[in-house]
Structures are given as C-alpha cells and as structure tokens.
Structure 1
Amino acid sequence: MTVARRMFDLLEPICLVTYLEDEVNEEYAALGHRTYWDGYFAARAAGLGRVPAEVVDAAFYSFAPGEVARHIPSAWDTASPEASFAAQRRGSVASLRRILGAQADSPKVARAADLTLKAAFGAPVAGRVMYAGMRTHEVPSEPLARLWHAATILREHRGDGHVAALVGARIGGTEAHVLSALDMGIYPAESFGRIHHLPKARLAAVMDGLRARGVLDDEGRLSDAGQHLKDGIETLTDELAEAPYEALTIAELDELIALLEPIAAAVVAARS
C-alpha cells in the first residue's frame, strides 16, 4: 500500500464527519441556509471567493449540470463564504469532539495535528485549485480543529489530483460516480445515492456512452477494460497525492500513522 493510500484511509474518516454527522447541518441551519446543500456548496467553495457557479462546478467536477447553480452564488446571499466555512468547521469539530470524548484533548491529538499540518502545507499549489483555496483559510489554534483543518486541506489536495486523473482518462463527473458505485458493489449503478436523482434520460445516456467505450458490459457492470481503467485512475490518484507526505521525515510519518490509527478507528466505529 502506498503512503498516500494509507494516509487517505486514516484521514478520510476525520473529514467525513463534515458530510455525515448532524452538527454540521445544525450549524448551516443556524446561519440561515435553507438546505444541507446550500451550506455544503457555500462552505466548501469558500476558499475560491465569490466566483460564479461555473467556476465552482469546474473545481468540484462531479456534480451534474445545473446542480451547483441551484446553490451558488445564492447561498452566499444568506451567509458569506467566510461565515459558511466557519460554520462547517465548528460543526465538524463538534462532531469529532462528541465521537472522541476524552481523546479529543489528548496531547496525541495535538501532535497528530501538527504533523498533519506540516504535510498539508508541504506540497506545491500549482494546478491544485481546491487545495490552494483551502490553504487560504486561517489555521485554528485549538488542536482538534487544527487536525480537522489539516486533514481537509489534504483531502482537497487529493481531490484535485483525482480530478486530473479523471480528466486524463476522459471520465466525466457522472461517469466517475458510475465507476465508483460499481467498484463498491452497488448495482445497478443508477441506484447510487449521488446520481439516482438525476433524470433517467441523462443517466441512460451516460450508461450508453460507457458501454460504447467498452467500459461497461451489456448488463451495466464494469468490463475487464473498465476495471482496468478504474484501477488506473486510482493508482494515478495515489501517485499524485504523495507530495505532501514527502515533507515529513520517515520517523515523523511513522509517528503520524501511529497517532492517527486510534483516532480513525474511533470515528469509524462510531458510524458502524
């Protein structure tokens, strides 16, 4: 397993509280955002500034045409980009604090935060729009908040590389969700939560296009060529995500992995 893949496995649970736990949505609602998605787009795109929906759509990549425009820029009329991001961070940290309990204030969390932050600022920003935007936010002083913040910076770094890998493979955003769904064993792919709401005609066109390319078989499952394509995208994503961890010494990386393992395990266990 590559360093980038191992770190993804350890940091992703910390980041996912933002999208799976109630505290973040409560913070969005307290700001006046009408829906979870208003808050999501307003907060995640905050580092880009008040850009048009087309820019957010390009940076996020995986949303279907028109989805971003339902929320951006109107969500920023409810609460500013800065306020939305602050709400997202408060809710995320509150979720982590609830899940981790006494462990949240451990010196080990503070050390993990410092090492993760060193990696988070250790890579070039060239070609990394979301990563660069996330790095513009002020780094919090509180250790648990700093850990979430650094983990999220690294998530956006990896995401930028993943988008580059998808573009290089000529896989669009909705197509990427189809591949991910099938790779996770979700069948039919059209039932996947990220795309099941899309118009049936649009989904059919996406599936037909992937069949025409030989990525899917007649039943709508990954063909051998499709699995090879998916594996290649994931391998390249890992390779493009390595740079931040090169800022750490071998000893620091080993220490960080050991520190993150019980934190990630606790967060995963809380959702099982």
Structure 2
Amino acid sequence: MPHAHAKVRRMVELVEPIATVTFSEVPNEAFLALGMRDYWDGYFAGRAAPLGMAPAEVVHAVFYNFADGEVARHIPWVWGKTTPQEVIAVREQSSAAALRQMTGELADSPGLVRVADLAARASVSAPTEGRALYAGLRALDMPEEPVARLWHAATLLREHRGDGHNAALLAHGIGGTEAHVLLALSLGMRAEQFGRTHHLPRARLAAVVDGLRGRGLVDAAGGFTDAGRETRERIEALTDELAAPAYDVLTGDELDELVAGLEPIATALQAID
C-alpha cells in the first residue's frame, strides 16, 4: 500500500546510518587485508562488486557523481588483487561485524529478527527497471544471520533510492559534480569547502559553478538562487517519490513497526559519528 511521504522520508534517515557502516573502520581494515591500497580502493571495490567485472566507464556511469577519472584510478586495478565474489563476501561479513560492534546490545535484542525481516521484505520488493546497482544487489543471496540481513536490506534500500536519485538528477539536467555543488550549497557551504569537491582542480570546479550560474541556479556570490533552491527541492521530492514503491509491500502497521525498530539502532550509530 502507498505510504505518506513523511514515512518514506523517515525511512531514508533510518536506513542511511545502517547501510553506511560499510564505509567504517572495520570493513576498511578487511579490504586492506585483501590487498587494497587505501580506503577508496575498498570503497569502489565494495560498491561495484555486484556489477561484476564492469569496466570503469560503466561503474562511473552507475555511480554517477564522481569526477572524470576518479573511478578509473581504482577500477579495474582492484580486480587484479581480488574478485567481486570475494569482495561481496568480505563486505557482508565485515559490515555485519561493524554493525554489531557499533550497536552493542541492540544487535542481540529480541526484536532485531523481526526488524531485519521487515526491512528485507521491503528491500527486495521494488522494481529493478533502470536501477543497475540495485538490480546487482538484488541478484545476491539475502543473508540469514539477522545483523547481516539488516545491513544487506538497508544497503538494498539505500542503493534503490540512490539509483532513483540519479534518475531525478538526470531528468533535471544536473550532472554528478553539479549535484555535489548543489548539496554543498544546501548545507550552507561553498563548493570549494565541501569534502566531495574540494579536492578537484580549482579551474574544473569553477567551470562547474559557472555552468550552474549560467543556468540561473547559482548567484554571483556562489550561493543558491531561488531557482537553484527550488530545483534541488524538486529533485529531492522526486527522489523520495521514486523510493516509495519499496515500502508498498508493507502495511501501515508494519511500516510503523519497522520505523520504531530501526530508530534506536540508527540513534546508536549516529551517536558514534
């Protein structure tokens, strides 16, 4: 059944910290043990592994928001050190270990199995059309162990939304680096201050900002225009709309139960950050 926008938005907030434990220290150490040179090798190997041995050009297209050349510094180099199958296994095991470590007693709470099962039902119920990364994840086995099951389900829901977000950006003519600039502005930062873009050559970043300025989305001082703010709001609203079908399989009571079960877990993870 369709659910209220506010509930879908709340699920986004709850799923994000659970899925992103995969980018924390325990999985990073596991990837380094596989022969990765640094955090970013593990990042690209871990996220791209469900796509198999896809070339850098395909990973760049699917990930959408990395600057030209960033993916190619890691793909296919990482596949000379390990395989997608090995990475998938290590990512699941280390992410579950991180989630268990970071949530403490909550990982063994009686309600976790139910929460993981509800999240898993939602995570495999959405359409895959046009969602390459989500489809790749859907092709993997759902873990049986509850903590791993919850992490995998959260990852599916996150990447399902992410694929939809890329579609919303594309529909509004916003490229990957442009999306980061708009995100930075929404956080009250200039593009050159933002972690995902500050490393880019100044001339390249300035050209992106100038392009947004030419479209009337950024003002002379480098901040949002009204049109820029409205464009980003439309993109976020469309992203939520495209994410909503994942939860249609749950009744209203089940979604409320899932939200209530995830809240203490997300709170514990956010407290660590």
- Which TM-score bucket, shorter chain as reference? over 0.9
CA distance in 1, matches of 2:15, 2:111: 15
Q: Is residue 5 from structure 1 mapped to residue 9 from structure 2 by the alignment?
A: yes
User: C-alpha offsets along residues 44-95 of structure 1, whole Å, 9 cap, x if unaligned?
Assistant: 1111110111100000000000111111111011110121122222222122
| Residues 53-92 of structure 1 mapped to structure 2, 5 A cutoff | 53-92=56-95
Name the residue aligned to 1:189.
Answer: 191
CA distance in 2, matches of 1:4, 1:159: 14
Name the residue aligned to 1:96.
Answer: 99
**Residue 205 of structure 2 aligns to which amino acid in structure 1?**
L
**Residue 270 of structure 2 aligns to which amino acid in structure 1?**
V
Q: Is residue 199 from structure 1 mapped to residue 201 from structure 2 by the alignment?
A: yes
CA distance in 2, matches of 1:33, 1:138: 25
- Name the SS for the 2:65 alignment partner: coil
**Residue 38 of structure 1 aligns to which amino acid in structure 2?**
D
CA distance in 2, matches of 1:22, 1:147: 19
Name the residue aligned to 1:26.
Answer: 29
Between stretches 132-141 and 85-94, larger displacement belongs to 85-94
**Does the 8 A contact of 1:215 with 1:225 survive in 2?**
yes
**Residue 110 of structure 1 aligns to which amino acid in structure 2?**
V
Per-residue deviation, 1:184: 1.1
**Residue 159 of structure 2 aligns to which amino acid in structure 1?**
E
- Name the SS for the 2:111 alignment partner: helix
User: Any unmatched runs of 5+ in structure 2?
Assistant: none
Aligned-residue sequence identity (percent) comes to 58
**Residue 217 of structure 1 aligns to which amino acid in structure 2?**
D
Name the residue aligned to 1:35.
Answer: 38
Residue correspondences, number: 269
**Residue 67 of structure 2 aligns to which amino acid in structure 1?**
A
User: C-alpha offsets along residues 79-113 of structure 1, whole Å, 9 cap, x if unaligned?
Assistant: 10121122222222122111111210122111111
**Does the 8 A contact of 1:27 with 1:90 survive in 2?**
no
RMSD: 1.0
TM-score normalised by the chain length of structure 2: 0.96
Name the residue aligned to 1:219.
Answer: 221
**Residue 223 of structure 2 aligns to which amino acid in structure 1?**
R
**Residue 16 of structure 2 aligns to which amino acid in structure 1?**
E
CA distance in 2, matches of 1:225, 1:162: 19
2:253 to 251, 254, 259: 251
- Name the SS for the 1:66 alignment partner: coil
Q: Is residue 176 from structure 1 mapped to residue 174 from structure 2 by the alignment?
A: no
**Residue 270 of structure 1 aligns to which amino acid in structure 2?**
I
Per-residue deviation, 1:185: 1.5
2:144 to 132, 138, 141: 141
CA distance in 2, matches of 1:105, 1:117: 18
